[in-house]
Homo-oligomer: A and B are copies of this chain.
Amino acid sequence: MRTWRLAVLACLCAAAAAAPAEAKTHHHTWNITYQYKSPDCFRKLAVTINGESPGPTIRAAQGDTLVVTVHNMLDTENTAIHWHGIRQIGSPWADGTAGVTQCPILPGETFTYRFVVDRPGTYMYHAHYGMQRVAGLDGMLVVSVPDGVAEPFAYDGEHTVLLMDWWHQSVYEQAVGLASVPMVFVGEPQSLLINGRGVFNCSPPAASNGGGAACNAFGGECGWPTLFTASPGKTYRLRIGSLTSLASLSFEIEGHTMTVVEADGYYVTPVVVKNLFIYSGETYSVLVTADQDPSRSYWAASHVVSRDPTKTAPGRAVVRYASAAVDHPRTPPPTGPRWNDTASRVAQSRSFAALPGHVEPPPARPDRVLLLLNTQSKIDNHTKWAINGVSLSFPATPYLVAMKHGLRGEFDQRPPPDSYDHGSLNLSSPPASLAVRHAAYRLALGSVVDVVLQNTAIPPPNGRSETHPWHLHGHDFWVLGYGEGKFVPEVDGPGLNAASARGGAVMKNTVALHPMGWTAVRFRASNPGVWLFHCHLEAHVYMGMGVVFEEGVDVLPRLPASIMGCGRTKGHHY
């Protein structure tokens, strides 16, 4: 253990030393309040940053420090903000995951997130507390390469594109339904938003998917799509992120192809696509050249895939050539790809490869393999998602604090299972979920861990297998492969090491688990802290679809008092 401790400290020092001498510190002050918003012409309360939802795009350069001072100005509701894709090396207490890395920020309180953005790329932030993210507390975080460093592609301008889905019900109403017996699902979103703007069809047929509520807001800018301006002949980098609550999306721009060059902060070998499939928690950079008729404008559109899209108004924005006569295209908007064409989505997932020379290759083999089976079934009459039979819940004392301080009574000391009975598994009739627990996998610091996510079908009458985008906090992972049907360790296991050896594995922080398939990733557990790994669909993690990884909490320094105040960490202590 002494050896590890020294090795990790050396590693952290090296990282600090590697930061450019001109690294800057960027200060942001955020007031969190409720505000009425009408992104799709339905007026409802949103949880906002300085009055806005989505919040501002944060920009910094690699090696810079971000200091975000969050004033919770809500009256009775707490908050916590996660910096999605930032590994928080040396600052695990700044990950912003309530129940895991911190106590929530109480009304009237101020919490300061301070962390280094150690890698360039396209990232995001969002509330990570209950289902609060769904109320609109999110935004994008763009980390540029340092001055003087060239990127492996060229572009003339840049736009950020934040994709969301949107409900007219409040998050409280959604959560009550999910927790009810019988469970009442949140249903399909009423609309899709692009940079916080959407279009909801207020006429009665569409309104029937709004709990009976039709549009209740008009005028102003309500219903106007976001406008992206392009100069003819120029090439733009679109930094696209998805923070949908439920929807997997296809994004496209009428009449244009997109060249994917970055995924989750890592360069990929360029791939040209017409439709970019993007799952909640993912980011991509695509290059788009304004090489079409310069006298007009073009639709950008997001569509639901992998779930029935007919109840959801597609997302629409406009790419307007600077020379165009009018803002709005006169063409019909794109209709999107076939929503239930799983094969084309799996193919696109497989099409991405790390750009040679830009991504460290994965270790040759793992020290430990976790086979994680997801199941949806009832526990004490409540519908729950579980992983290897264990449905995750968040303890009153955050895992990080409980583990660092040895509060063994605050979480379940029995580790959840590393595997499941894959021999007898029937994907269409998987075993039942067993228990709701505060459980965590303890990983050896520095060990290499493979995780194979195994999808199943949910019980009848639905019986479908869904797309689950899994997001890992505190690390990036190499994607070793996507498979169909059952993962068979004896057959498919060696293939993972072979894939690793072949090279080209992309690194990501979020990966899709496709319907009735499996997805394998590898990561190095080298970031002391406690980290959530979970389905990024908000309803799913709310119902328990996640696991917690701990590594090296013993080598962490004393935790800041600011993350405490809940569970067993109350007191007079200063």
- What is A's interface to B at a CB cutoff of 8 Å? 33-36, 45, 75-79, 99, 103-104, 106-110, 129-132, 170-173, 175-176, 179, 212, 216, 394-396, 401, 405, 542, 559, 561-574
Residues of B within 8 A of A45 (CB): 170, 172-173, 176
A473 to B559, CA, bound (A): 38
Q: Which residue of B lies closest to A106 (CB)?
A: B566
* Given A36-B176, A103-B106, A565-B569, 8 other A-B residues pairs in contact with their CB atoms under 8 A: A76-B129, A77-B172, A99-B108, A108-B566, A109-B567, A170-B170, A212-B216, A564-B565
Q: How far is the CA of A450 from the CA of B103 in the complex (A)?
A: 43
Q: Which of B132, B405, B570 is in CB contact (< 8 Å) with A103? A: B570
> In the bound complex, do residue B567 and residue A571 qualify as a contact, i.e. CB atoms below 8 Å apart?
no
Interface contact B565-A561, CB-CB below 8 Å: no
Across chains A and B, which 6 residue pairs bring their CB atoms closest together, nearest first?
A: A571-B573, A75-B130, A565-B570, A76-B130, A565-B565, A564-B570
Which residues from B are CB-within-8-Å of A131?
75-76
| A216 CA / B169 CA spacing, docked (Å) | 14
Q: Which residues of B contact A107 (CB under 8 A)?
A: 78, 104, 130
A-B contact pairs, 5 of them (CB 8 A): A78-B78, A109-B567, A559-B572, A565-B570, A573-B573
The distance in angstroms between the C-alpha atoms of A172 and B36, with both chains bound, is: 11
Chain B, residue nearest A176 (CB): B34
Given the known interface contacts A176-B34, A216-B212, A573-B570, the answer about A109 and B565 at a Cβ–Cβ threshold of 8 Å is: no
A571-B561 Cα distance, complex, nearest whole Å:
5
Set of chain B residues within 8 Å of A573, measured between Cβ atoms: 569-573
Question: What chain B residues lie within 8 Å of A130 (beta carbons)?
Answer: 75-76, 107
Assess A572 versus B405: contact at CB under 8 Å? Given A75-B130, A131-B75, A173-B45. yes
- The residue in chain B whose Cβ has the minimal distance to the Cβ of A404 is B572
- From A174, which residue of chain B is reached at the shortest CB distance? B75
| A13 CB to nearest B CB, Å | 26
Residues of B within 8 A of A562 (CB): 570
The residues of B that contact A109 with a CB separation of less than 8 Å are 396, 566-567
A569 surroundings in chain B (CB, below 8 A):
565, 570-573
Contacts known (A394-B108, A570-B570); A103 close to B565, Cβ less than 8 A: yes
| Cβ of A542 to closest chain B Cβ, rounded Å | 8
In contact, B176 and A35 (Cβ under 8 angstroms):
yes
Q: What residues of B have a CB within 8 angstroms of the CB of A77 in the complex?
A: 76-78, 172
A564 and B572 contact, CB distance less than 8 A = yes
Residue of B nearest to A571 (CB): B573
Q: How far is the CA of A171 from the CA of B170 in the complex (A)?
A: 13
- Shortest A234–chain B CB gap in Å is 42
Residues of chain B with a CB closer than 8 A to A75's CB: 130-131, 172, 175, 542
- Contacting pair B34 A172 (CB below 8 A): yes
A216 contacts across to B, CB distance below 8 A:
212
Chain B minimum-CB-distance residue to A110: B396
A563 neighbours in B (Cβ, 8 Å): 570
Alpha-carbon distance A401/B563, docked complex (angstroms): 19
Closest chain-B Cβ to A302's Cβ sits at a distance in Å of 27
List chain B residues, Cβ under 8 A from A34: 172, 175-176
Most-contacted residue by chain B among A104, A132, A396, A571 (CB, 10 A):
A571
**B104 touching A76, Cβ below 8 Å:** yes
Nearest CB in chain B: distance from A167 CB, A: 15
Please give, as numbers and ranges, the residues of chain B lying within 8 Å of A559 by CB-CB distance.
572
Q: Which of A33, A132, A561 has the most CB of B within 10 A?
A: A561
Which residue, A99, A216, A564, has most C-beta atoms of chain B within 10 A?
A: A564
